[in-house]
Structure 1
Amino acid sequence: MTTPAIRPESIDNKLYLHATGDWRLAQLGPEPPQFASAPSAKDNYLDGAGITSLDTSGALTLLKLLNERNIPLDTITLSNFSTAHQAIFDLVRQNFTASQQRQPAPRHRLLVQAGRTASSVGLHLAGMVNFIGIISIEAASLLRQPQRFRGKELANQIEAIFVYALPLAFTMMFLLGLVFAYLLGIQARQYGANIFVVDGSALAICRELAPVIVAILVAGRSGAAITAQIGTMKVYEEIDAIRVLGLSPYTVLVLPRLLALLIALPLLVFVGDIAGLLGSMLISDQQLSVTPITFINRLEQVLETKTVVIGLLKAPVFAAFIGVIACYMGFTVARDARSIGLNTTSTVVQSIVAVILLDAVFAITLVKLGI
């Protein structure tokens, strides 16, 4: 067995490449075969008379070496190859992938990427609109046949979304109300306006903080869980099994979860209002000399019913968007575990962005309407 090598020879502006040795995988070590530098030529010939053995790995190595020396592969003429060796070499050359060729750097990469991103976002939004249409049709069908509704599944989802999230939502809003009143009180104390901390806390917590913070909590907790559940069911073909049974996966999986979110999120926001005001009342009593009785009396004067109602009305809108995004991303999971993780993360990000954008729309619209 001889070591594989290539010996170049230039004659009359023609380049002859003499390949010698055993060009098989077993003889190809980590170091590339010897290939001395050669001048460029118009005509290139690959002489295989000295090749004792050749397999596809050897032919691929030959092609890579020639490609690295910028020798056009389609201009090489084979000479003195045995019939078997030439067949192997031609087969590998025909299937030599374009990715192994030297490709010029793509131009306008940023513009191309922007176009691809815009196209991807457009397709995603179109798919979501189609998904909303399917849900609407299923809901209308369910109104005509209410006996098909799965009440037990709805109760289970309300328990998972509302009951289990209740301690976390209460604690988060209590601490947020405490911190907000404390920071607001630092400024109010300088002007002897401690009592106005009640005004600021009531408006901020009931109208903005509680709906947004609780919605973000539900998006990260329940939205991610819904996507993971539906995605896992798709991977294990449980959704296909539901269809085989003659049931609609949208009626079985989507509508109970969506309705549970519509019920649970306003309740959690109401609990968040109470928790936030309790936190504000505690810090006002401890740091600002505003007693609980004084706090409650002032709260009755400044907290209008419409402020609480506006915050509660935001909750179903947030819930609808979170539910649609979570369920849609679950149904678009590919049949692998990696896709479940990617779609779950995407659900949380999309839901949080949607909540913030919707809250901005609410704020601008309500101010324009004078509400």
Structure 2
Amino acid sequence: MNAPGISSEHQADNTVVRVSGDWLLSNLANLAPAILPALPAAGTLLDGAELAALDTSGALRLLEIMRNAGADPQQITHVNFSDTHAAVFELVARNFGDSMIVALPAREGVLAHIGRSSLANWQHICGTINFVGKISHQVFQLLRHPGEFRSQEFIAQIETVFVNAIPLAFAMMFLMGVVFAYLLGIQAEQYGASIFVVDGVSLAMSRELAPVIVAILVAGRSGAAMTAQIGAMKVNDEVDAISVLGLSPYNVLVVPRILALLIALPLLVFIGDVAGILGGMLVAERQLGIEAFAFIARLDQVLPLKTVLLGLIKAPVFALFIGVIACRMGLTVAHDAHSVGANTTSTVVQSIVAVIIINAMFAVAFVELGF
């Protein structure tokens, strides 16, 4: 295969551009940097006597080179072309102008943007409701036929969601307790009320901080992992393979993960309560001089069991929302890697927003009920 070549020469009445070699898509990489002198817009002859082969890609590249030199593609006259080469060249020349048109993105008005976003949100809400309905139906089916429950998958998810998350949850809440007690102790010490650090740390950790922060941790760690796992299975057609085998993807993939979250999150919140209080106890002893036994004695007075239970009650609700969001976003992944990443990010954002909103609703409800 001969490398494509191009040259030009000026004659008395016009300019002649000569092409040679094989102008084929597979051979264009061998084309030397084509530098033509300025060509007139009209009156350019294209001599193809030495042209060995030509396809549409080669003809398009040839016309681009001549256009960049100043020639009008519609005013080029080709000579010494074979019938086949002439037909290819004429076809590309006729459509050359259309191929250079770049469609500008349509500018969307504010109202159109609001309407499109509202429609997308409505479709997302309807899809979530439909997803919850399918899960509920699957749970009722499992209650009727307990033998269909995927116990091994459930145990594997418990290990992933709960056991492997214990060190991270404990460390995060321990440090949170240290920081909270340190900042609170600086203020309390000014008024001689250092002992009230015990009240603030224990109540804040058990009622608000541990449930919310541990839920956000689980959303970013386990929720994102669930979406990525299910999404990767969707891309690899493994979800379709489960259906072909006569199994329910909801039974195999969704229900074990949601149940694992429902069990793991309350336990992680309790561990977070303990870790946060231990962190506060450490700071109280080192910074404020409150001994461990005095801290524990005060803790027994100011931390009722009801407060701890109020924090633990939130955890299953957080877990249910995180699990539903994560699994649904995983099953709605399209067959490309970009969709997996986008849905994983969306899972984290939706889960965190849901946790914050639900926690605010719990706070208002508890106050109204007198808890």
Return the TM-score normalized by structure 1.
0.80
Deviation digits for residues 331-355 of structure 1 (CA, Å, limit 9, x no counterpart): 2334455654554444334333332
Task: Provide the residue aligned with 1:52 in structure 2.
Answer: 50
Task: Provide the residue aligned with 2:282 in structure 1.
Answer: 282
Task: Provide the residue aligned with 2:194 in structure 1.
Answer: 194
In structure 1, C-alpha distance between the alignment counterparts of 2:108 and 2:48, rounded to whole Å: 46
Q: Secondary structure at the match of 2:201?
A: helix
Deviation digits for residues 120-177 of structure 1 (CA, Å, limit 9, x no counterpart): 5555444433322321222232233333222333233223222222232222212211
2:32 is the counterpart of 1:34: no
2:252 is the counterpart of 1:252: yes
Identity %: 53
2:354 partner letter:
A
Q: Secondary structure at the match of 1:103?
A: coil
CA, structure 1 residues 76+128, in 2 after alignment: closer, same or farther (shift >3 Å)?
Answer: farther
Q: Does the CA contact (< 8 Å) of 2:21 and 2:50 recur in 1?
A: yes
Q: Does the CA contact (< 8 Å) of 1:8 and 1:36 recur in 2?
A: no
Q: Does the CA contact (< 8 Å) of 1:216 and 1:355 recur in 2?
A: yes
CA, structure 1 residues 184+136, in 2 after alignment: closer, same or farther (shift >3 Å)?
Answer: same
CA, structure 1 residues 133+58, in 2 after alignment: closer, same or farther (shift >3 Å)?
Answer: same
In structure 2, C-alpha distance between the alignment counterparts of 1:163 and 1:363, rounded to whole Å: 29
Q: Secondary structure at the match of 2:255?
A: helix
Task: Provide the residue aligned with 1:209 in structure 2.
Answer: 209
In structure 2, C-alpha distance between the alignment counterparts of 1:69 and 1:146, rounded to whole Å: 77
327-336 or 310-319: bigger deviation: 327-336
CA, structure 1 residues 123+47, in 2 after alignment: closer, same or farther (shift >3 Å)?
Answer: farther
Task: Provide the residue aligned with 1:103 in structure 2.
Answer: 102
Q: Does the CA contact (< 8 Å) of 1:59 and 1:92 recur in 2?
A: yes
In structure 2, C-alpha distance between the alignment counterparts of 1:358 and 1:65, rounded to whole Å: 63
Q: Does the CA contact (< 8 Å) of 1:23 and 1:58 recur in 2?
A: no
Task: Provide the residue aligned with 1:262 in structure 2.
Answer: 262
Deviation digits for residues 50-96 of structure 1 (CA, Å, limit 9, x no counterpart): 553151343112332466579876x5575645422221124435776
Q: Secondary structure at the match of 2:162?
A: helix
CA, structure 1 residues 108+239, in 2 after alignment: closer, same or farther (shift >3 Å)?
Answer: closer
In structure 2, C-alpha distance between the alignment counterparts of 1:122 and 1:17, rounded to whole Å: 64
Q: Does the CA contact (< 8 Å) of 1:177 and 1:279 recur in 2?
A: yes
1:240 partner letter:
D
1:201 partner letter:
V
Task: Provide the residue aligned with 1:21 in structure 2.
Answer: 19
1:357 partner letter:
I
In structure 2, C-alpha distance between the alignment counterparts of 1:368 and 1:71, rounded to whole Å: 81
In structure 2, C-alpha distance between the alignment counterparts of 1:95 and 1:38, rounded to whole Å: 21
Tell me the number of residue pairs that the alignment of Structure 1 and Structure 2 aligns: 361
Deviation digits for residues 89-133 of structure 1 (CA, Å, limit 9, x no counterpart): 2443577696x6253754637968887766655554444333223
2:20 partner letter:
D
Deviation (angstroms), 1:367: 4.5
CA, structure 1 residues 7+353, in 2 after alignment: closer, same or farther (shift >3 Å)?
Answer: farther
Deviation digits for residues 308-335 of structure 1 (CA, Å, limit 9, x no counterpart): 2221122112111211122123223344
CA, structure 1 residues 368+68, in 2 after alignment: closer, same or farther (shift >3 Å)?
Answer: farther
1:4 partner letter:
I
Task: Provide the residue aligned with 1:88 in structure 2.
Answer: 88
Q: Does the CA contact (< 8 Å) of 1:281 and 1:292 recur in 2?
A: yes
In structure 2, C-alpha distance between the alignment counterparts of 1:117 and 1:6, rounded to whole Å: 56
Q: Secondary structure at the match of 1:52?
A: strand
Deviation (angstroms), 1:257: 0.9
In structure 2, C-alpha distance between the alignment counterparts of 1:36 and 1:109, rounded to whole Å: 42
Deviation (angstroms), 1:205: 0.7
2:6 partner letter:
P
Return the TM-score normalized by structure 2.
0.80
Q: Does the CA contact (< 8 Å) of 2:40 and 2:71 recur in 1?
A: no
In structure 1, C-alpha distance between the alignment counterparts of 2:105 and 2:272, rounded to whole Å: 53
In structure 1, C-alpha distance between the alignment counterparts of 2:128 and 2:71, rounded to whole Å: 51
